Structure 1
Amino acid sequence: MKDEAKDIPIQSTEPAAGADGEAATKTLATKTPEAKRPESKTPAKKKRVRSSKAKASDANAALEARIGHSFADPNLLMQAITHVSALKSGRKRGDSYQRLEFLGDHVLGLVVSDMLYHAFPNADEGELSKRLAELVRKESCADVAKSLGLLDDVKLGSVGPSADARLRKSVLGDICEAVIGAVFLDGGYAAAAEFVRRNWTERMHKPRRPLRDPKTVLQEWAQGKGLPTPVYREVERTGPHHDPQFRVAVDLPGLASAEGIGGSKRAAEKVAASVMIEREGVGGGNDG
């Protein structure tokens, strides 16, 4: 008995024809994904980067010129003018100017002490100490920083316009000492000493404030010379009653009189004493 053959549908391998006679199925082209290439900087971006670097380089060169020292390690200079508020997260306070300030403070003291020792051979320890204290005080360092134009170079964080101005002025003395420390580390003692001498010599001979009362200085000098106490006399009084001006002379035997003018007799006497001190080269006054 024969098995009955079952009609098994055979799937045609020919593509079905569409209405227009074309194959309905289409072969899809498989695209291999390409690795994404990093975007290269456009010429405009490259130009901006170069311009930014050039400006920073020019600014550093200008700052070095004002300071008078070309840094082998520019990072030291940048650290010297960086306030704690400008440090990015994760950086230590030691990355600001503070450590350099500590070093510069002591370098400044040593150099100025050496300058005073040689400039005033007749001054005693007390006078030298007073002169040193006047020259290394924060206000004196801030004056040097201002004269070098460092006010706008200080790097601060976002503290607001009004606080920015106050903070810049308050840290100027510290920044100056930090710059000295940076110069010392970069160029050694000779470079640091040159910086200090260049900026402190004139101040050393002409301090902003009298180190001692000039009348006291003149009297002690006169006594040391065996002379009597200086005599002050009013030469002239001018101006209205509410705003008088006094001209006073000071006399010592064997010396020409010296005169001074002031808004009071005492002020005029101090000026007269200062004039005689400077003229006679007396130590302990402004010019020693």
Structure 2
Amino acid sequence: MTIPGQAAADALISRLGVTIDPDLLVLALTHRSFAYEAGGLPTNERLEFLGDSVLGIIVTDRLYRDHPDLPEGELAKMRAATVSQKALSEIAREVDLGPCILLGKGERTTGGADKDSILCDAVEAIIGAVYLSHGIDVARDVVLNLVDGHLKAAATSGVALDWKTSLQEACAERGKGAPLYSCEGDGPDHARTFTATVTIDGEAYGTGVGSAKKYAEQEAAAEAYKVLVGMDASATRA
């Protein structure tokens, strides 16, 4: 199968600095909306699943080696920030990945090539394709080159490193119960959206939306954290 916008795909490969098996490259760029409209082609979701794990172990290994004095909790926050939907979608835009993604008509007309969720998933799928094409050593070089700026920024990002952990810590400091998350999926399999709600002591504090539960929950936690801290600030001013 030839990729529509082959020139864009060739430029992407050049920016990544590594070749990718042509069939795997097409698969990595095949969004479920395109596959659905084309009659049930394979999607990039399996590669995304693999790439997510490859990305996680490479980033975790680098953080562990670069920050020998940091506790597990801080390392977890830094990893969460580096592999977040926001970070990966920014990386996708830096390498101009959007124009290469194979999208269904509906997604194309609604700006799917610039949606954070779609870009994030495609980055993970590309990482999975690199890993299958060349193995872990080459994949490590590609991943670290992509996330270098975000790894550096993670060291100074404070509470925004991992909103779920920050919210849990804020609740403990205020004598509140642990945050509880509920998440519901909506839409067809090829265009699934998740909405998460976080409650604290039975009261809803925040909601978030994302292409996966983990992203929706991070958005909900960010909103809840700001509400919780904002309540403290209001009480202090009063």
TM-score, normalised to structure 2's length? 0.59
9, 27, 32: which one pairs with 1:79? 27
In the alignment, is the contact (CA less than 8 A) between 1:154 and 1:168 conserved in 2? no
RMSD in angstroms over aligned alpha carbons? 2.4
Q: In the aligned structure 2, how far is the partner of 1:57 from the partner of 1:162?
A: 20
71, 89, 96: which one pairs with 2:43? 96
Q: CA deviation at 1:172?
A: 0.5
Partner residue of 2:169?
none
117, 136, 141: which one pairs with 1:194? 141
Structure with bigger RCO (C-alpha 8 Å, 6+ apart): 2
Q: In the aligned structure 1, how far is the partner of 2:5 from the partner of 2:81?
A: 36
Q: Which amino acid aligns with 1:135?
A: T
Partner residue of 2:227?
none
Partner residue of 1:69?
18
Q: In the aligned structure 1, how far is the partner of 2:92 from the partner of 2:78?
A: 20
Partner residue of 2:53?
106
Higher share of residues assigned helix: 2
Q: Which amino acid aligns with 2:30?
A: T
Q: CA deviation at 1:61?
A: 2.6
Which structure is larger by alpha-carbon Rg, 1 or 2? 1
Q: In the aligned structure 2, how far is the partner of 1:85 from the partner of 1:203?
A: 29
Gaps of 5+ in 2: 161-238
Q: In the aligned structure 1, how far is the partner of 2:127 from the partner of 2:14?
A: 15
Q: Which amino acid aligns with 2:19?
A: S
CA deviations 1:5-33 (Å, max 9, x no partner) are xxxxxxxxxxxxxxxxxxxxxxxxxxxxx
| Other structure's SS at 2:136 match | helix
| Other structure's SS at 2:80 match | helix
TM-score, normalised to structure 1's length? 0.50
Partner residue of 1:23?
none
CA deviations 1:33-65 (Å, max 9, x no partner) are xxxxxxxxxxxxxxxxxxxx8x96644432210
Q: CA deviation at 1:206?
A: 1.5
Distance 1:161 1:56, change over 3 A: closer
Q: Percent identity?
A: 35
